[in-house]
Amino acid sequence: MDHLTLLLAILYVYTAPCEEIFWDTTVKLAKNMTLECVYPLADTVTQMEWFKIKMERESMAIFNPAFHGIIREAYTDRVYFSNHTMASNDMTLSFHNASEADVGFYSCLLHTFPHGTWEKVIQVVPPDNFEDAGPPNSQMVSEPGKNITLTCEPRENHLLEEVSWEKIQPQQIDLLISCNLSQGRNYTSKYPRQILSNCNKGMKKAFVTMPNVIGSDSGLYRCGFKASTGEKETFVMRLTVTNGETKNSYIPFVAGGAVLLFLLVILITTITVITYKRKKRQQKRGLFKDVWITQNRVSVLRIVTPLSPPTLLCILSVLSSQFILQLASFFFILNNLTTQSPVVQVSAI
């Protein structure tokens, strides 16, 4: 019996580090980096603690609303709570002079009332291992307060087996939702914002909906999935939430361009009329008669017939009208830009 107990203990020690770890956020290692931990509900936070996940959990810092925060000795002068004095549900931890030794997994564990424990896991990776989003396949501009739905589906009409949605930022990647439909497992991350999604077996497209979008929702969103055929695809969408002035933002540009063009037409017309009248007077006096005849004899191709003012005004009017129409069309299309690829759909409700 003693040998059996020893064997089980040894197996536990060697298999525990191999257990799969699910993380909510990936952070790029930087000298001064921040690990965000914001509790999204309105519960009372009774206590929280930061751990570094190694062979065993190593306590880094602990915070209690009544007794404030304590930084463990190994992390003194290296980490601090960023925003706990401004919001009791914000236990974000910041690093000073972080190094490669700080790469790894971290846990933000909160004890709340009445819902109990809540945990967010963060992975810190070297800059070379941080995956950039790449260029977006689709983009959308929306006003605040809209309900935005992002949708992606395979190019072929196949069932989905795995789906994940992420928000991509320069220094971190937040997991929004992860679904393993073949195993019937769904994982909703600790992202501090309401996200609605579909994770149903037999679905052929995936979507996420963000109600009442605000400026901080702007950014890149990545959808990755694996189809029943084994095919894997990734699509990136850019969402821009404006300050509510999108519809009329192009009007000042069109008006300004039209005014500048009108002034330019007046200037050119005035110069042309003055030049034309001056040449008429010179021709009447016969000042350039001999030069003109000589040039005609040398080459007929060098004869230049000055345009009359009415003809020039007609040409300029046509050109200016076309320019104004093209300018207005350009800004109208830019304002209503909702480019859609064959596999990515973006809609606002």
- Report the percent of the chain where pLDDT is more than 90: 37
Which candidate, 102, 87, 99, places its Cα nearest to that of 37? Answer: 87
Q: In this predicted model, what pLDDT tens digit does every residue of 140-196 receive, in sequence order?
A: 899 999 999 998 887 777 888 888 999 999 999 999 988 888 777 777 778 888 888
Domain 19-128 has CATH 2.60.40.10: yes
Give the pLDDT score at 339: 39
The H or E element containing residue 222 is strand 219-227
Model confidence, pTM:
0.66
Give the pLDDT score at 246: 46
Give the pLDDT score at 60: 97
Give the pLDDT score at 244: 62
Q: Give the helix ranges, DSSP H, for the chain.
A: 2-15, 251-285, 289-298, 309-335
**Domain 19-128 identical in fold to domain 138-245+344-348:** yes
Give the pLDDT score at 190: 85
Q: Mean pLDDT for the chain? A: 77
13 or 239, which is more confident = 239
Give the pLDDT score at 18: 47
Domain locations in the chain as residue ranges: 19-128, 138-245+344-348, 251-335
Give the pLDDT score at 251: 54
Residue 289 has pLDDT above 60, yes or no: no
Kindly state which CATH superfamily the domain 138-245+344-348 is placed in. Immunoglobulins (2.60.40.10)
109 or 345, which is more confident = 109
User: Distance (Å, rounded) from C-alpha 230 to C-alpha 306?
Assistant: 72
Give the pLDDT score at 200: 78
- 42 exposure class (CB count in 10 Å sphere: 0-12, 13-18, 19+): exposed
